[in-house]
Structure 1
Amino acid sequence: MTNLDGVFRREWGPAVAALARWSGDLTVAEDAVQEAFTEALRTWRRDGVPANAGGWIVAVARNRALDRLRRETLRPGKELAAVLDDITARTDRAGVPHRIRDDELRMMFTCAHPALDPQSQLALTLRLISGLTVTEIARALLQSEAAVGQRITRAKNKIRHANIPLRVPPPELLPERTPHVLACIYSVFTEGYWSTAGPSAIRDELCDEAARLAGELCALMPDLRDAHALAALVLLHDSRRSTRVDADGALIPLDEQDRRRWDRSRIARGLDHLRRAAGAIGPYLPQAVIAATHATAPRWEDTDWALICAAYDRLVTVTASPVAEANRALALGFRDGFDAGLAALDEIADDPRMVRSNTAASIRADLLRRAGRNVEAQHWYRQALEQAGSDPARQFLRRRISECAAPF
């Protein structure tokens, strides 16, 4: 039987977006899709997975939503009948809500409403669009699960009580909403490209979805340089996707990847978006420059670390992110020597925002290993292992620990 988790990851966002547009209620949409997946777990085990699994999920979710709306509404009968007639009129002949290509983009702009605080916007969108669990979102945002759960609940309640419309806003409102939409697309890609939990290091469906949504946003706003910067970043990173794991799903670090297998078409498209992004002021342009530097280097030894360090300097200025500073320290290690990288890493060692992340520990371990300080490297690899999310990440860190323990 097809892995239901894979179907869930692939179909959750489109189904919730379609049901939200159709019903006008995020909670109704999410609950209905969840019920549909619960029924799928029972039915598909017996009957097999249907050819159009997504259509099946949306159709069952629609029926569950209709049942709930009929059961819970307090409106007079004639008004309720009119509402249900209107909903039914927006379905196709097969009884499935008519799919519009920007359903998820519409959802993201809705969640980007200025009435919601930025952290709640991002958490809600990751839940509704990507289907990430509260645990996965908390790890991705470096927040507690309780805080993330409360943010999602409050955001949905705010949208409902304030009657925030589910739509792409008019042109005059786009500038205040787009930073969040960009952040959400990037977070979807990040979770797909470097999964925070589970058996796989990569979630192909999330990578594909992020690339699609970035392209949709560029088509919607062709003059938005930050959108092109994000599209460049996603495509350039994603060009390496097939070489990031081996046949057994084990992680392959960048310096060991077969560059002949990188997707040259995606690199070319990414570089085209990068050219159109010139002058962008957000955080995506310097990251795209870093990705482009790696993507165009013929060999690991040819990497232009000076250019990468300059891009990280810009990224740190724009974001003040300790994660960016930690990665900058690694780049400095390759440019100026590993001791210089370790000294730069010391500057953020006590930043409380890094408590829930193993990024600093992993980078410190890598710098120490490359400097030949294997005993110290083992300690920090073990520290990183304690906070590693996905199974391949843990396996990779165990491999590094074994390598550091091996006799010369």
Structure 2
Amino acid sequence: MEESEVRRTIDTVWRMEAGRIVAAIAGIVRDVGQAEEVAQDALVAALEQWPRDGVPANPGAWLTTVGKRRAVDLVRRRQTGERVVEAIGRDLDEQITVDFDAAVEDRIEDDLLRLIFVACHPVLSPIARAALTLRLVGGLSTGEIARAFLTTESTVGQRITRAKQALADAGVPFEVPGPAERAERLGSVLEVVYLIFNEGYAATAGDDWMRPALCQEALRLARQLQGLMPGEPEVHGLAALLEIQASRLRARTGPDGEPILLNDQDRTRWDRLLIRRGLAALDRAATEHPGPYTLQAEIAACHARAHAPEETDWERIAALYAELARLVPSPVVELNRAVAVAQARGPAAGLEAARALSDEPALARYHLLPSVLGDLLAKLGRHDEARREFERAAALTGNARERELLLGRAAACADPPASTPPAGV
């Protein structure tokens, strides 16, 4: 195998196995910062040895074995002579083989779950949690994370360094929280995965409307959580939501990257396999009292089940948004409910619901509020008012593609306008 092919193999293995490798090492050193450094040492060893000796039969196991042995060496140097270190060393020699038996696999899966809970700890800001999770669990480089969030490598590097230091300063233990804390902490974990997906699905800034690579990373994390926490309905609810939303990615942009709104999408381009996976996950999420991600997945499923826009059950969607608003009160949820009301009962009813949100401080600079108002006003034939709202929305968005779309709708207000509300994309 040529050296360039070996390096590509290493990159692929690292992307797939980084989380499990770092988690296994962190289970020994009990510090995520040191665990990442040791894992990087194992990666360097692979870069040195595999081009010469060939790629091992189980490359992930090889990296984990090397990393864990180096971790034990690190602990031995740190605590020379202590019996606990000798015990760890004996345990490692007995339990780690290149083949990895089922018991060792189970322990690594446990460590991975611990790593996810640590990386998503509430002591960190949401963006810091997202960066650290993509780095430790997703195996992304600092440069890849920087490109995903449209910032510099130095900024991302500093953010990750500060996040690891904050975890160390707070004395965050390397463990899954007990039952009393788990619900709150699980909410933090799911929020991070949701944030990563949303930033990919509708980018807040930049020249591209979507960043599909971020969506794929979030989907991979959600699937991992399903395997690690099969008894948590909201884990399946989030996975269902992301699978169904991701099914539309190919249909959401045109040949030149221009946005295509929901009702204008070619539904034959929706990925039916992802829809089936999402609906299956939704079945697993079923509970008497569904959580916010499960409710959003139910809304997404209403769209997925409609083979044409006119088949969409907008009354059910409006009811689901009303239930979601009761569970997690939010003006953004109410705005989406207004869109559903407009579709189900006419633009005048939707406009009344949307206008009731005009004084909400949280929506003062949220571009989708004037965007929705513009669409509903245009449908009612009030084109001058609609144009002003579209122009206001265009001034508020940070995404270039979305700005072009909104300015185009503003310019078209003198003619029969498009009929799809931007909030339903």
TM-score (norm 1): 0.71
User: How far does residue 295 in structure 1 lie from its aligned partner after superposition?
Assistant: 0.7
Mapped to 2, the partners of 1:200 and 1:344 lie a distance apart of 31
Aligned to 1:308: 317
2:386 is the alignment partner of 1:377: yes
User: How far does residue 324 in structure 1 lie from its aligned partner after superposition?
Assistant: 0.6
Select the structure of larger CA radius of gyration: 2
Mapped to 1, the partners of 2:38 and 2:355 lie a distance apart of 49
Counterpart pick for 1:124 among 116, 121, 128 = 128
Aligned to 1:333: 342
Aligned to 1:203: 211
User: How far does residue 404 in structure 1 lie from its aligned partner after superposition?
Assistant: 1.9
User: How far does residue 208 in structure 1 lie from its aligned partner after superposition?
Assistant: 1.3
Mapped to 2, the partners of 1:221 and 1:19 lie a distance apart of 19
Mapped to 1, the partners of 2:416 and 2:267 lie a distance apart of 30
> Per the alignment, do residues 384 and 149 of structure 1 end up closer, same or farther by CA in structure 2, a change over 3 Å counting?
farther
Q: Which amino acid in 2 is paired with 1:373?
A: R
Aligned to 1:367: 376
Counterpart pick for 2:291 among 282, 293, 309 = 282
> Per the alignment, do residues 344 and 152 of structure 1 end up closer, same or farther by CA in structure 2, a change over 3 Å counting?
farther
> Per the alignment, do residues 378 and 177 of structure 1 end up closer, same or farther by CA in structure 2, a change over 3 Å counting?
same
| Mean CA deviation greater in 376-385 or 148-157 | 148-157
Counting only pairs closer than 5 Å after superposition, residues 130-279 of structure 1 correspond to structure 2 as 130=134, 156-169=164-177, 174-276=182-284, 277-279=286-288
> Per the alignment, do residues 407 and 268 of structure 1 end up closer, same or farther by CA in structure 2, a change over 3 Å counting?
closer
Aligned to 1:110: 118
> Per the alignment, do residues 76 and 111 of structure 1 end up closer, same or farther by CA in structure 2, a change over 3 Å counting?
closer
Native 8 Å contact 1:136 1:197 kept in 2: no
> Per the alignment, do residues 265 and 395 of structure 1 end up closer, same or farther by CA in structure 2, a change over 3 Å counting?
same
Aligned to 2:47: none
Mapped to 2, the partners of 1:181 and 1:365 lie a distance apart of 36
Counting only pairs closer than 5 Å after superposition, residues 340-359 of structure 1 correspond to structure 2 as 340-359=349-368
User: How far does residue 256 in structure 1 lie from its aligned partner after superposition?
Assistant: 0.3
Native 8 Å contact 1:229 1:280 kept in 2: no
> Per the alignment, do residues 214 and 155 of structure 1 end up closer, same or farther by CA in structure 2, a change over 3 Å counting?
same
Q: Which amino acid in 1 is paired with 2:387?
A: Q
User: How far does residue 153 in structure 1 lie from its aligned partner after superposition?
Assistant: 8.0
- For structure 1, the residue ranges without an aligned partner over 5 or more in a row are 1-7, 35-54, 94-99, 140-147
> Per the alignment, do residues 326 and 103 of structure 1 end up closer, same or farther by CA in structure 2, a change over 3 Å counting?
farther
Q: Which amino acid in 2 is paired with 1:216?
A: Q
Native 8 Å contact 1:21 1:166 kept in 2: no
Aligned residues: 364
Matched residue SS, 2:295: helix
> Per the alignment, do residues 17 and 400 of structure 1 end up closer, same or farther by CA in structure 2, a change over 3 Å counting?
farther
User: How far does residue 371 in structure 1 lie from its aligned partner after superposition?
Assistant: 2.3
> Per the alignment, do residues 111 and 297 of structure 1 end up closer, same or farther by CA in structure 2, a change over 3 Å counting?
same
- For structure 2, the residue ranges without an aligned partner over 5 or more in a row are 1-10, 41-58, 99-107, 136-143, 418-425
Native 8 Å contact 1:195 1:203 kept in 2: yes
User: How far does residue 279 in structure 1 lie from its aligned partner after superposition?
Assistant: 2.8
Aligned to 1:400: 409
> Per the alignment, do residues 337 and 172 of structure 1 end up closer, same or farther by CA in structure 2, a change over 3 Å counting?
closer
User: How far does residue 274 in structure 1 lie from its aligned partner after superposition?
Assistant: 1.3
> Per the alignment, do residues 224 and 319 of structure 1 end up closer, same or farther by CA in structure 2, a change over 3 Å counting?
same
Native 8 Å contact 2:109 2:228 kept in 1: no
User: How far does residue 76 in structure 1 lie from its aligned partner after superposition?
Assistant: 9.7
How many percent of aligned residue pairs carry the same amino acid?
39
> Per the alignment, do residues 357 and 248 of structure 1 end up closer, same or farther by CA in structure 2, a change over 3 Å counting?
same
| Mean CA deviation greater in 277-286 or 102-111 | 102-111
Native 8 Å contact 2:148 2:214 kept in 1: no
User: How far does residue 164 in structure 1 lie from its aligned partner after superposition?
Assistant: 1.9
Mapped to 2, the partners of 1:21 and 1:356 lie a distance apart of 44
Q: Which amino acid in 2 is paired with 1:311?
A: L
Mapped to 2, the partners of 1:285 and 1:165 lie a distance apart of 30
> Alpha-carbon deviations, 1:351-375, whole Å to 9, x = none?
1112342121221122222222222
| Mean CA deviation greater in 393-402 or 226-235 | 393-402
User: How far does residue 390 in structure 1 lie from its aligned partner after superposition?
Assistant: 2.4
Mapped to 2, the partners of 1:205 and 1:177 lie a distance apart of 26
CA RMSD, aligned part only?
A: 4.8
2:327 is the alignment partner of 1:321: no
Q: Which amino acid in 2 is paired with 1:304?
A: D
> Per the alignment, do residues 92 and 359 of structure 1 end up closer, same or farther by CA in structure 2, a change over 3 Å counting?
farther
Counterpart pick for 1:387 among 396, 401, 413 = 396
> Alpha-carbon deviations, 1:274-309, whole Å to 9, x = none?
122333432112211111111111211121111000
Aligned to 2:302: 293
